[in-house]
Structure 1
């Protein structure tokens, strides 16, 4: 009897969700919150590795009985903390308002495959804070992709501190892929609604004070996923993936690809929305930005550009076929250069390998960087599975590969600068991985300058870790007092 059949027979997975691949295998939720202070280590954890690697993701607290999207699961943070050659692991649910309501049985909103509740205050779908996590002002902030309430978390214990309002001045919501300036510590964010023809942006100081907020008018409602940041500008995305008229009218999650160019709006980060300068490029969608910076008159953005692909979900997924197809990411790294003087926008594809979930040395966020680290996406599998890592040279487009063993799949990595680092790539690349056959999960530590080599250390985790979304590195000196 396979694991999925067993869960169906015991009632843990029932009805329509027996066809949902994102509740099974490496995606299957875990039930326990764990604190593990004594972990098995294969190899040796470097003494100059100090801080925490965190990864956010969905973990339904109850077995879903209605249609369930992978993005709907309650937010759960997983963390491994390194100090003095030792490691500690923790996982905790994010105590969002909607998570507590779910546990109490009073939740008044469902996931994105269900009709939106337009009568509720706040977001029209369940707000889980399950998508991204950043370090700002010495604490973690967990963020949600549809634009929701940011949640503060203690980076050492993973205990939820509470909702973040920036001193009561947050106008509404914060979207997932907001950024922290690698030099100033400022937090920059964007917000959008599924039904409103504008997008807003804000800047929060390193001391947690909202110092700028305005909005940019749009031709109609949009579905942006990420943004860019440079020393002086923010880059907002007006992309041709939109809610359908039927979806808007019925309050259901129906999207379409419009026949129109993609646009990037470059706006002064401490300026007004009406100062935005728009740059058009070919029709495309971008989930994740690698990094952005300024060079003379040009604003440079490197991002993962979605490409057409032949993946088609079969009847074995039933009603989940469209979800499975959309989640089958197929992107390549591309550089755009936007000339603020001439208005020209050019693009250069760096490589043709399929990858996503890019990260950089966070000290370089918003400033020129040469190196980035991406997951490799398993090409012969329609499920979203990360079967290795790439280290990109953003100047040449060349990449070094580190592939996992067959059946072992990873998470978005993080770059951890070595204590006393002297160069951008002087440090370690860290990722969580899970063997789908055995259910064993571990953390792997790679030497970033010897990227293709075997890990310098492997830390065995006390329980399986479900596949999930985005992560971050937090240097210990930033939060350990």
Structure 2
């Protein structure tokens, strides 16, 4: 194994302490503990054989705080760090780098934390996002490919940071050639057939969603407002060939807390779930609203059109604010992070205005993905993460779900081993949704190290065809993407 180690140009990275205001915080311990070093590693030990027709790069974002901060730590607080595995003709190179946001650079220059976290009053923070929410935009949530670069995004709406998919160099806050208006939510959608990117944003004092489209040339081509009855907190959206679907869900901001300068959310069980179906380039006046039973949706699987119906598969959370059973000073945070979600299908009939709801499966699975080449078109297979029974957000296996038959196959990582979101990686000249691989990072608690596992998408249940051992953990985090070799050859768009 050979490796190089980058150095911080301003200040050394501090190792997070396992104690948070005198309380052991599980999201600073074990597989969640931040790592110090930014590494570039090759000639790694491989168990099995890396397929030569797996060419591209797997990237996964997640929280990894640079400095200990005052107050209570929430998993969402950590600075974004992207971990990547670049595959080329049977070889692999691992690299990890911080997303160097404006807040990250400010703290690096100061040599200490300047922001408090999500669970503290943000009044003294230097700045927040464009909507006046004073929480640090950490760009730690998702990573998605568009026009030669990946975009690192933040769950409360922030600046989308352009990152080079190979070097992981932070290019900068992307303004789409000076045309971008607003912040961007965590999960923008890319239609690879048109090369358009779809996004929305929201704010703590904003009674509307701002919905926009970035065109194939890299500039904003469409922008409109969709009215809401009050500020809302939607996390994801969906697209079809002709429509976008946005959400007005009952997880809302506490307005009294907002007046006091704090950020607090609650689940209002008196409200229904509402879904806005809008033509891709339509206005707020073109929206068709569809109602459904109360719930929250963190992540959409996919959506498409069937005749006069819009079909949307999602991971539905029945009760995002369930009563905690944890005997812990941070019990409220632990309860929120303990997801209980099931695969679910909505049908929105554009002729009758009716909504049909159907549970597809009862297992607790989340962080879904489909073949990105068919986003917005009918899919058969989705690749999902199975949630373990521990009180923290941990993935104990991969589940391939067949939406045509309702059947599933899965692989469990094993005792003390926890995985990461595993998007579909088409093999060279791939011809279908299972003609390729799944790649994910796995942390081994017993060995205190990470690895890169490769699965044949056609035989997920058979376990990994190759395991690449790493000398450093990859802290458990959030979302991932796969960038194909043909996409890596595309010229990058600069801010």
- Pick the TM interval, shorter chain: over 0.9
Runs of 4+ with deviation above 6 angstroms = none
The equivalent of 1:134 in structure 2 is 144
1:314 matched to 2:319: no
Distance across 2 between alignment mates of 1:189 and 1:197:
17
Offset at residue 441 of structure 1 (A) = 0.7
Distance across 2 between alignment mates of 1:143 and 1:418:
27
1:116 matched to 2:99: no
CA contact (8 A) 2:18 2:29 kept: no
The equivalent of 2:169 in structure 1 is 159
CA contact (8 A) 1:17 1:67 kept: no
The equivalent of 2:391 in structure 1 is 382
1:191-202 mapped onto 2 (5 Å cutoff): 191-202=201-212
User: Which of 33, 55, 74 is matched with 2:60 structurally?
Assistant: 55
Distance across 2 between alignment mates of 1:455 and 1:474:
20
- Give the alignment's TM-score, normalised by structure 2: 0.92
Work out the number of aligned pairs and report it.
Answer: 469
After superposing the two structures, state which structure 1 stretch, 163-172 or 78-87, moved more.
163-172
Flag the 1:292–1:11 CA change in 2: closer, same or farther, 3 A.
closer
The equivalent of 1:368 in structure 2 is 378
Mark the runs of 5 or more structure 2 residues left unpaired by the alignment.
1-14, 491-495
The equivalent of 2:479 in structure 1 is 470
CA contact (8 A) 1:56 1:75 kept: yes
CA contact (8 A) 2:68 2:113 kept: no
Distance across 1 between alignment mates of 2:323 and 2:57:
36
After superposing the two structures, state which structure 1 stretch, 15-24 or 185-194, moved more.
15-24
Mark the runs of 5 or more structure 1 residues left unpaired by the alignment.
1-9
User: Which of 437, 442, 458 is matched with 1:428 structurally?
Assistant: 437
1:399-414 mapped onto 2 (5 Å cutoff): 399-414=408-423
The equivalent of 2:9 in structure 1 is none
1:357 matched to 2:363: no
CA contact (8 A) 2:180 2:219 kept: no
After superposition, the C-alpha distances for 1:162-219 in whole angstroms (9 at most, x for unaligned) are 1100111111100111111132221111100022111111111132111101110000
Flag the 1:303–1:162 CA change in 2: closer, same or farther, 3 A.
same
Distance across 2 between alignment mates of 1:17 and 1:203:
46
CA contact (8 A) 1:108 1:120 kept: no
1:292 matched to 2:303: yes
User: Which of 439, 445, 448 is matched with 2:448 structurally?
Assistant: 439
User: Which of 88, 102, 106 is matched with 2:107 structurally?
Assistant: 102
CA contact (8 A) 1:17 1:65 kept: no
The equivalent of 2:3 in structure 1 is none
Flag the 1:406–1:79 CA change in 2: closer, same or farther, 3 A.
same
User: For the aligned residues, what is the CA RMSD?
Assistant: 1.7
Secondary structure at the residue paired with 2:462?
Answer: coil
Secondary structure at the residue paired with 2:152?
Answer: strand
The equivalent of 1:348 in structure 2 is 358
1:227 matched to 2:237: yes
Flag the 1:147–1:454 CA change in 2: closer, same or farther, 3 A.
same
Secondary structure at the residue paired with 2:23?
Answer: helix
Secondary structure at the residue paired with 1:451?
Answer: helix
Secondary structure at the residue paired with 1:57?
Answer: strand
After superposing the two structures, state which structure 1 stretch, 159-168 or 251-260, moved more.
251-260
Secondary structure at the residue paired with 2:461?
Answer: coil
Distance across 2 between alignment mates of 1:108 and 1:466:
23
